[in-house]
Structures are given as C-alpha cells and as structure tokens.
Amino acid sequence: MGALTIPERFRAGIIAVGKLEAPAYEQLVGALEAADRCDSAQKLASKIAHSTAAIPGKDRQKIIASLASMYQVRQNAEVPPEVFAEDVWDALLEEVPEQAKTLKQGLLRERIARLIPMRALDLASSRISDVRREYDRSFCGVRIFTDLRTAFGKNPDEASLDTVIVYSCQIGYDDGMGKHHEVYLSMDAEDLESFAHAINEAQEQTKSLEKLLEKGRIRLHK
C-alpha cells in the first residue's frame, strides 16, 4: 500500500498501545479474543472494561477506536498485519516524531500486528465510517461570519453611507488521506436563504427515507 496517513484523532490510541505495560497488553489481547462483535468502539470498550482493569478508562476507548479503524484500513488494503504495522510506525515517525521516539519500535509493531486481525474489531460503526470516507472530501464543520462592508467611491476621503452585509462561510473538510482543509465562501442574504432551504429540504428527504427503511426493517446508522 502507499504511504499511510493516521488521522489525528487516532494517534493517541496507537501511542497508548505502545505504552501499555505487559500485563495490561495481555489483558487487552485476551479480552478482544473473547469478545463478541459490537456496533461501536464505545460499546466494545465498555464490554471489555471488566477484563481490562489494568488499562485506564480514558485510554481504553481511544485504543479500541484506533484499532478498529486500522482493522478496516488493513482489510481494504489487503496487506499482511506485519507490513501494515510497519506502515503505522513510519506514519507516526513522519507525523508525530517526538511522541514516536518515546516508544519501542519493535514492540509497537509486534503489538499492532497481533491486534489488528482480531474479529472483535470489525465494528459496524467503522464500516459505516469507511463507506463515508470513500468520498474525496468529508465535511468536518461550518461557521458563518457576518460582516458589514462599506462600498467606497473613487475618492476614499469622501464619506460614504453605501454599505452591505456580507457573510463569510468557512467550511472545514478532511481529504481522502485524513488531512484537514478549510475553504471560505462569500455569501449574501439571498445565498444564505438558499443554503438554509437546501438544508431543510435534505432534512425532509431524510425523514421520508427513514420511514421507508423502518418499513423494510433496515437499520440506519447516523
């Protein structure tokens, strides 16, 4: 596979795997081997909490979320666990070198290679996220700034009362490699109304689809 990029939200979980004490790591291995499949990282982390008492609660869900994400990426890439673990290490060195240097390379690679094939990590939420990431750009957030702008004449020394309200729409998105970007769009009041109308229309369409799926007993993930 090509160069691997680790989304920022998953780095802490990977690093936590490398820092686990041996007894805590073995608890994690045993718990995942015995666990049934769950819908989400949160549910899986909760299910194995009693059998992974040596892992701090704040780290457990981060670890599961990171491992589940890697499970899906490796499955799609169709590479051996050992090769994928090496790619993970190379990505950490590139993206967070100072934190990577606090870890033992061989130990982290060995642990990742052992953990990521486990079937308990095949989470419905990760598969859904994987489908969503098939698009080139994934929405992250939006902010709209409202400004009052003055339209000056040719002579800037002359006072002007010609003003206009301008909206600046900031849209954040992640690309296919997990990198964050932002784009700014200027809008006027009419554009703002069009934007709101499109959102309302999409919400109404969603309600209609939900009713159809409910009749067909198809589970919808949001």
Among candidate residues 132, 166, 185, the one where a domain is terminated:
132
Same domain, 57 and 146: no
Q: What SS3 class is residue 18?
A: helix
pLDDT of 77: 85
What is the residue range of 180's domain? 137-215
Co-location of 57 and 102 in the same domain:
yes
Residues 78/71, Cβ–Cβ less than 8 Å: no
Of 94, 109, 132, which marks where a domain is finished? 132
Same domain, 199 and 163: yes
Domain boundary among 117, 132, 147: 132
Give residue 213's pLDDT: 81
**126 and 143 share one domain:** no
Both 148 and 172 in one domain: the answer is yes
- What was the pLDDT predicted at 221? 66
Looking at residue 180, what is its pLDDT? 82
In a domain, 208, yes or no: yes
Each residue's pLDDT tens digit, 2-57: 578 888 889 999 999 999 999 999 999 999 999 988 878 888 999 999 999 999 98
Same domain as 93, residue 30: yes
pLDDT at 160: 62
Q: Are residues 12 and 113 in the same domain?
A: yes
Question: Which ranges of the chain have pLDDT less than 50?
Answer: none
What span, in angstroms and rounded, lies between the C-alpha atoms of 68 and 59? 14
145 and 165 belong to one structural domain: yes
Question: Could you tell me if 158 and 91 lie in one domain?
Answer: no
Match 């819908």 to its residue by tokens.
39
Q: Is residue 1 part of a domain?
A: no
Total domain count, the chain: 2
> Which residues have CB under 8 Å from 45's CB, separation 6+?
60, 61, 63, 64, 65
Do 44 and 116 fall into the same domain? yes
Residues 14 and 89 grouped into a single domain: yes
Give 163: exposed, middle or buried? Use CB within 10 Å, 0-12, 13-18, 19+.
exposed
User: Does some domain include residue 211?
Assistant: yes
